[in-house]
Amino acid sequence: MEDPLALVNAKSGPTTSLVTTESAMATNLTFSQGQDQQSPTSDVNIFVAAQRGDVGLIRGLIESGRASATDRDDQNITPLHWAAINAHLPACRYLLEQGAEVDALGGDLVATPMQWAARNGYLYVIQLLIAHNADPTIADSQGYNSLHLVTHSSSIMPLLYLLHQPINVDSRDSQGHTSLMWAAYQGDGLSVELLLKHGADPNAKDDAGLSPLHWAVVRGNRMIIRKLIEKGADLTTKDAEDRTPRDMAVELKSLGAWKRALEEGGMNEYGVKRGKPLSDRNTKIAIYSLPTIFFYLIFMTLTILPWYTGMLLALAEFFGMHHIVTRVLLNNSTYTESVSTTPYFAGIISGSMIWVLFCWFTRLVQQTQSHSFTHLSFALTVGLCAYNFFRSVTLDPGTCPRPTSDGELKSIIEDLASEGRLNGQTFCIQCMARKPLRSKHCRVCDKCIARSDHHCPWVWNCVGANNHRQFVLFVTTLVVGIGLFDYLTYAFFSSITVPSSPSDISPSCLLPDELCALAAYDTFLVAVAAWATLQLSWTIVLLASQLWQIARQMTTLEVSNLGRYGYMGGRGGQSLAGQMGHRHQGHRAAGGSVALSGVDTEDTALVSGADTPGGPAVHRHAGVCAGCGSGFLMNLLGFDRFTKGRAVDGLTRANASNNPFNLGLVRNCKDFWTAGRELGVEYDKLYDIPPEGFQEAKRRREQEEDEEGLGVGGVGRKGGRKSLFMGFGLGRASGSRGGYEPVSQA
Ligand SMILES: [Zn+2]
Ligand SMILES: [Zn+2]
């Protein structure tokens, strides 16, 4: 068998080596040449000054007439090139003001200053040059335009910015590669997604007949393969040597990634859609109601059969239920993937509630009538619990608004870039929208959630600003309800005389005789009570941490991030790893990993600090990994907050004074209850922290409203009366929020 490595190199050698060694070297070469040649001849010349970003020196040279902004060194490189490649923004600005030619071609590659900046992913230099009418479509001697080069840099925000400039997303380099092919080859999932969102053609072909899908197979990144197929990439497309992407995967021994990608997209390895037995809607209904049925079977099994066979069969039934849901109804190939997108866990909760209620009606109410107050409390608690559970599931957790037009999107990007803060903290690549403070993009719900707490599979929804109160009430009433149920069950068994004849007591029972007799007397009730009590373990932990976080005005997300980044100090994700906590690294080809480490951004370096480049394929998961065994379980039980992201470290560093949202215990709780009214914010549109602080901003706004109401005669009084009237209902909310609307509307 031929070495797969040789195969790739033989096929794509020239192209891959172009970006990995040659082109990268070319930059370094010119760079060092520049320095070496200039330094000895004279210690002060404009090229060295531009490299250092020394605006004072450049100014001195130009004003004294010893140099000009349009000077070129012996490689035809201008000072603007040197300032751009070193990201010296003030120097670039000054040189442009002094008349530097914005699209000057220079260096070995005959490139513009913007191409030098694009290769390194310097967003703000690119933005400045574009503002001075730089042309992004110019190609260098290798045929790369700024879009190709910024794709090579793996920097997502500069790529986003360039995609909103007048440049063809499918423009080709000298070998016919589009930016999408480069991104697929480099394994940049976010770049691939971004390019596809901006209309890149998933079926374009390069000069060798390779499609983006072929290139994704070369990298063997299953997420990218899946994204391309979802966007309509042709699975049967053939290259010049008559190979489909699948043939290539076989040759390169990356068939595993290929199969996984297609399976996740609901297909077999040849791209044939695997059907589900029921329609989407009926699948959801079936999955939701299945636990109720199976719980009855399980509890009845325990009742009818002796305990040892009953336990085994009950376990088998539980597994059977899981099998039906994942392998039959969802037609998955594993037991854990994608169940959290279904109402399976919500079904388990409501199934448990139904059988607890059943036991209460059929046994406890009749037998323990002397505990009327406890019964009343239990009824109330169950009612509240069910209602808040329903509300948590059905309420919108706080979807953040998306721009309604391309023009609005472009102006958002332009504004953020000109403010110098276009990054993963302020902009969501998946939603293509501004990202409010404290929000998070949920991959399950596929939207940004305002003041996101966590995605909770048990309520089949995210927990965010709009349903957090209902969620906490649900968990609280759940804990209280289980407690009351256990108490009533205890009272039930105390009130009856259990026949404890030796014949009722199984000789093999491990429990003490009395307990065994109780269990034999009403196994169904004991089993339900035991199941309910089991749930106490994780619900108590969940409730305690929720209450603690509410008192500190923090979310689960912020607590788990604190250990990594400090309060709200998350870095703007520039790459897949930075943004998603997920990284595929170390392609087998040595050249490939050199390329990767060469274009590594600060973020990926941060996440993958311990990885050694060049080793065999390293597969790392950081953060939540809903697909893998123990992580899945921890996530489900809500314990992952204590294991992921060094949360313990985070808690010790949770210094309340760093939190601009912190109002103190009582008002934090009020703010939680009113979903932001105490702070006077709408979390789904909160983009900035007022410089004077939230309290001062709110006070000032209310004062302004008051003055407005008193000052302008008739209209003012009308407004005043309105707020008085509305004061009985929701008036306070709209009153305190009004300040964010234009004054004319208030
Ligand atoms: Zn988002
Ligand atoms: Zn979610």
Average pLDDT over residues 252-276: 81
440 CA → ligand 1 middle, Å: 7
Which residues contact residue 404 at a Cβ distance below 8 angstroms, ignoring those fewer than 6 apart? none
For residues 393 and 16, which has the higher predicted lDDT (pLDDT)?
A: 393
316 CA → ligand 1 middle, Å: 40
Ligand with an atom nearest the CA of residue 448: 1
How many whole angstroms separate alpha carbon 343 and alpha carbon 210?
41
CATH 1.25.40.20 fits 168-274, yes or no: yes
Ligand with an atom nearest the CA of residue 435: 1
- Which of the four pLDDT bands, split at 50, 70 and 90, describes residue 651? low
415 CA → ligand 1 middle, Å: 19
* 359 among known catalytic residues: no
The reply to whether 168-274 shares the fold of 1-134 is: yes
442 CA → ligand 2 middle, Å: 5
The CA–CA distances, whole Å, from 479 to 3, 199, 392, 659, 740 equal 60, 50, 16, 30, 39
29 CA → ligand 2 middle, Å: 48
Ligand with an atom nearest the CA of residue 684: 1
pLDDT at 200: 93
Kindly tell me if the per-residue pLDDT of 25 is higher than 80. Answer: no
pLDDT at 587: 33
434 three-class SS: strand
Ligand with an atom nearest the CA of residue 452: 2
Q: For tokens 């442009």, what's the residue?
A: 96
445 CA → ligand 2 middle, Å: 4
How many whole angstroms separate alpha carbon 206 and alpha carbon 218?
14
677 and 736 in contact (C-beta within 8 Å)? yes
321 CA → ligand 2 middle, Å: 24
Q: Where are the beta strands (DSSP E) in 450-514?
A: 454-456, 461-463
* Fold topology of 1-134: 1.25.40
Which of 183, 337, 180 has its CA nearest to residue 260? 337
Least confident residue range of 250-264, 451-465, 506-520: 506-520
Report residue 299 as tokens. 């509890």
pLDDT digit string (tens) for 95-123?
A: 999 999 999 998 888 999 999 999 999 99
449 CA → ligand 1 middle, Å: 8
pLDDT at 632: 58
411 CA → ligand 1 middle, Å: 18
Buried b (16+ CB within 10 A) or exposed e, 411-425: ebbbebbeeeebbbe
Least confident residue range of 160-169, 366-375, 585-594, 674-683: 585-594
Buried b (16+ CB within 10 A) or exposed e, 253-268: ebbebbbbbbbbbebe
pLDDT at 348: 94
pLDDT digit string (tens) for 704-736?
A: 877 776 554 444 343 333 333 333 333 333 333
190 CA → ligand 1 middle, Å: 13
Ligand with an atom nearest the CA of residue 447: 1
Least confident residue range of 55-69, 193-207, 551-565, 613-627: 613-627
191 CA → ligand 2 middle, Å: 23
623 CA → ligand 2 middle, Å: 15
Ligand with an atom nearest the CA of residue 434: 1
374 CA → ligand 1 middle, Å: 46
Virtual torsion, Cα 670, 676, 680, 684, nearest 10 deg: 180
pLDDT at 266: 76
Ligand with an atom nearest the CA of residue 439: 1
Virtual torsion, Cα 467, 471, 477, 481, nearest 10 deg: 130
Which of 579, 479, 535, 703 has its CA nearest to residue 189? 579
Ligand with an atom nearest the CA of residue 457: 2
467 CA → ligand 2 middle, Å: 12
Break the chain into its structural domains and give their ranges: 1-134, 168-274, 276-340, 556-658, 665-745
How many whole angstroms separate alpha carbon 569 and alpha carbon 672?
22
Residue tagged active-site, from 456, 462, 516, 625? 456
Q: How far apart are the first and last CA of the chain?
A: 75
For residues 16 and 569, which has the higher predicted lDDT (pLDDT)?
A: 569
Q: For tokens 């090229």, what's the residue?
A: 47
523-551 helix and 513-521 helix, angle to the nearest 10 degrees: 100
| 587, burial (CB in 10 Å: exposed 0-12, middle 13-18, buried 19+) | buried
Q: Which residues are within 5 Å of ligand 1 (an ion), measured at CB?
A: 428, 430-431, 441, 448
pLDDT digit string (tens) for 226-263?
A: 999 989 888 888 888 899 999 999 988 888 888 888 88
Kindly tell me if the per-residue pLDDT of 36 is higher than 80. Answer: no
Q: Quick one: which H or E segment has residue 59?
A: helix 55-63
582 CA → ligand 2 middle, Å: 18
Report residue 133 as tokens. 């009418």
pLDDT at 345: 92
235 CA → ligand 1 middle, Å: 29
For residues 639 and 549, which has the higher predicted lDDT (pLDDT)?
A: 549
689 CA → ligand 2 middle, Å: 25
460 CA → ligand 2 middle, Å: 8
pLDDT at 306: 82
Least confident residue range of 8-12, 104-108, 407-411, 527-531: 8-12
Ligand with an atom nearest the CA of residue 401: 1
The CA–CA distances, whole Å, from 203 to 180, 239, 406 equal 10, 12, 24
432 CA → ligand 1 middle, Å: 7
256 CA → ligand 1 middle, Å: 30
- Which of the four pLDDT bands, split at 50, 70 and 90, describes residue 268? confident
Virtual torsion, Cα 304, 310, 316, 321, nearest 10 deg: 40
Mean pLDDT of the chain: 77
Ligand with an atom nearest the CA of residue 455: 2
- Which of the four pLDDT bands, split at 50, 70 and 90, describes residue 372? confident
- Which of the four pLDDT bands, split at 50, 70 and 90, describes residue 39? very low
256 CA → ligand 2 middle, Å: 29
Ligand with an atom nearest the CA of residue 432: 1
pLDDT digit string (tens) for 583-633?
A: 233 333 333 332 222 222 333 322 333 333 333 333 333 333 333 445 556
